[in-house]
Amino acid sequence: MTNTNKAKGDRYERDILALARRQGFPFAERTRPGRREDQGDIWLAPGLIIQAKDQKTAAWRDWLAELETQRRAARADHGILVVKRRGVGGRSPLNLAVMPLESMLRLLCESGWGDPDAITIITAEEIP
């Protein structure tokens, strides 16, 4: 018997992967499920993972803690939580990309925006 939540999650991961590939990430790939150490759901680019969530009720604090654990397990520089906000009243769903502000600022500096010499590494324990 198929687990409907797992099937829904797998479908959402495939949707994100297809979108990422269409938007300029041709080498993005799903990670292997069932590993002893979860390394996120999708390798978007070298050093960048995605954890996908398609759940009715958001658990932001838990999901972000899980993302940090997975980022470390994957030895990735950055992790992004992608959450599907379901459409209401005939509206299409909205896909949100969420990450701690300090991580986003570091990613932007490393991408050529901001001053990369000013980057300070902040650990998860230091994030309020």
Range of the domain at 18: 4-99
- Residue 71 sits in a domain of what CATH number? 3.40.1350.10
45-65 residue pLDDT tens: 999 999 999 988 999 999 999
What amino acid is encoded at 18 in this protein?
A
| 115 CA to centre of own chain | 24
Task: Tell me, yes or no, whether 77 lies in a domain.
Answer: yes
Give the pLDDT of residue 1. 44
Whole-model pTM: value is 0.82
Enumerate the β-bridge partners of residue 59: none
Residue 116 lies in a domain: no
User: In the predicted model, is pLDDT for residue 115 greater than 90?
Assistant: no
Q: What gap in Å lies between CA 126 and CA 39, rounded to an integer?
A: 22
Angle in degrees, CA 37, 39, 43, rounded to 5: 155
> How do residues 19-39 score in pLDDT, each as one tens digit?
999 999 999 999 876 666 678
pLDDT of res. 112 = 86
| Total domains, the chain | 1
Q: What are the strands, taking DSSP E only, across the chain?
A: 29-30, 42-45, 48-53, 78-85, 94-98
51 residue type, one letter: Q
Q: Would residue 71 count as lying in a domain?
A: yes
